[in-house]
Amino acid sequence: MNRTPDPALLQAAARYSAEKGELSAELMPEMRRRSREARRALRGRHADEVEISTCDGLRLFSPRDRCDASRVIVYLHGGGWANCDTVTHGGIMTDLAALSGHLVAGPDYPLAPEHPYPAGLDAACAAVCRIAADHPHAALVLAGDSAGANLALATALRLHDEGAAPPLAALLLWYGCFRRCFDTRSHMTYGDGTYGLTTTDMRTYWDWYLADHRDPAYGDLTGAAVDGLPPCFLAEAEMDCLADDTRWLAGRLTQAGIPHAYDFTPAVNHGFIHFSQVYEPSYRSLQAAAHFLASPIVAPAAERRTAAR
């Protein structure tokens, strides 16, 4: 395979990413610190148009000029359930708030390997329920990238199954890791380290996250029933070892009759939406998500759910 990711993306990633070493549980605190410092300058293309505040453990991104209070986006950051926070992903949430016109709430959650499953999921579910209680007239949009996409989907599924789900307008899921599965086409094609995220790293992340849990039904989502989910926006990065997870989920949604949109970005690798401030395809993917939220696929469902409350 001779193709490589877009050189402009690789340049942006090199500028705003910490040097990557071998994953080590003992070194994770230092890796988190370096990741935060490397990404701190990624404030988002619309940083001057969004007010950022903190409240009750949430980082809030609110459009300054117009904020449509009919929905609140809850964004769960990625990082293999083990790295990153609402600072490393602040640029994504800033631009998503500006482009959608909605408040974006970013909760942090306990990270593996110190806090394995279901600690992160428990925290995500609690945050979603708290945000719903604080915004009783809004439908929620659950969003996330990578491991955060896993948590967003798992949160929607668990709350639905427990009969505790608040009104959900949509899910926005960028290049998620939904299955503990490593023999897919995308893992075999893009998982050797040439394209960034590796299959070896994903094995480690899954091992850290699920640890020795006997029934991680909302961790590895292979057997999850997706009936009852709201409309979904799915985004695939072409040169990503997790690409087939997004394709798999699209197939499951199709079988269940769940409306969804599929955003495919060529010549990019895992993590590309971080760079919307400087890289146009990243920005276009966030734009596509905002357009999806304003589309007829989502709006009628959101109105029905809000009225039902």
Task: Output the six-digit token pair for 82.
Answer: 């083990």
Q: What pLDDT is recorded for position 139?
A: 95
Which of 20-34, 238-252, 278-292 comes out lowest in average pLDDT?
A: 20-34
Nearest-5° Cα angle at 29, 25 to 32: 110
- Per-residue pLDDT band at 3 (split at 50, 70, 90): confident
pLDDT tens for each residue of 138-184: 999 999 999 999 999 999 999 999 999 899 999 999 999 999 999 99
Closest of 305, 160, 156, 145 to residue 236, by C-alpha: 145
Average pLDDT for 220-235: 96
d(CA 168, CA 156): 8
Tally of residues, the chain:
309
Which of 121-125, 212-216, 285-289 is predicted with the least confidence, judged by mean pLDDT?
Answer: 212-216
**Three-state SS for 68?**
coil
If phi > 0 it is left, if psi is from -120 to 50 it is alpha, else beta; for residue 175 that is left
Indicate if the pLDDT at residue 309 is higher than 50. no
Question: Would you state the pLDDT for residue 235?
Answer: 98
Determine what percent of the chain is predicted with pLDDT higher than 90: 92
Of 17, 35, 100, 146, the catalytic one is 146
The first and second tokens of residue 108, run together, are 């942090």
For the chain, the structural domain boundaries read 7-308
CA–CA gap between residue 120 and residue 133 (Å, rounded): 20
- Give the confidence band of 305 by pLDDT, cuts at 50, 70, 90: very low
Q: Domain 7-308 falls in which CATH fold?
A: Rossmann fold (3.40.50)
Neighbours of 253 (CB within 10 A): 20
State yes or no: is 146 an active-site residue. yes
Q: Dihedral sign for Cα 146, 288, 92, 38, please.
A: positive
Determine what percent of the chain is predicted with pLDDT higher than 70.
96
Q: How confident is the model at residue 300 (pLDDT cuts 50, 70, 90)?
A: low
At residue 304, the pLDDT reads 45
**119-138 pLDDT per residue, tens:** 999 999 999 999 999 999 99
The pLDDT confidence band at residue 2, using thresholds 50, 70 and 90, is: low
Q: For the residues 241-260, what does the mean pLDDT come to?
A: 98
pLDDT value at 299 more than 50: yes
Task: Name 90's Cβ contacts closer than 8 Å, sequence gap at least 6.
Answer: 39, 40, 42, 43, 44, 52, 59, 61, 106
Strand order in 50-55's β-sheet?
50-55, 58-63, 103-107, 71-76, 139-145, 168-174, 232-239, 260-269
Nearest alpha-carbon partner for 80 in 251, 210, 173, 243:
210
For residue 306, is pLDDT > 80?
no
Which 3 state secondary structure label does DSSP give 76?
A: strand
- Where does residue 28 fall: left (phi above 0), alpha (psi -120 to 50 degrees), or beta otherwise? alpha
31 pLDDT above the threshold of 60: yes
Question: Once rounded to an integer, what is the mean pLDDT over residues 235-244?
Answer: 98
Please, what is the Cα angle at 294 between 289 and 298, to 5 degrees?
A: 90
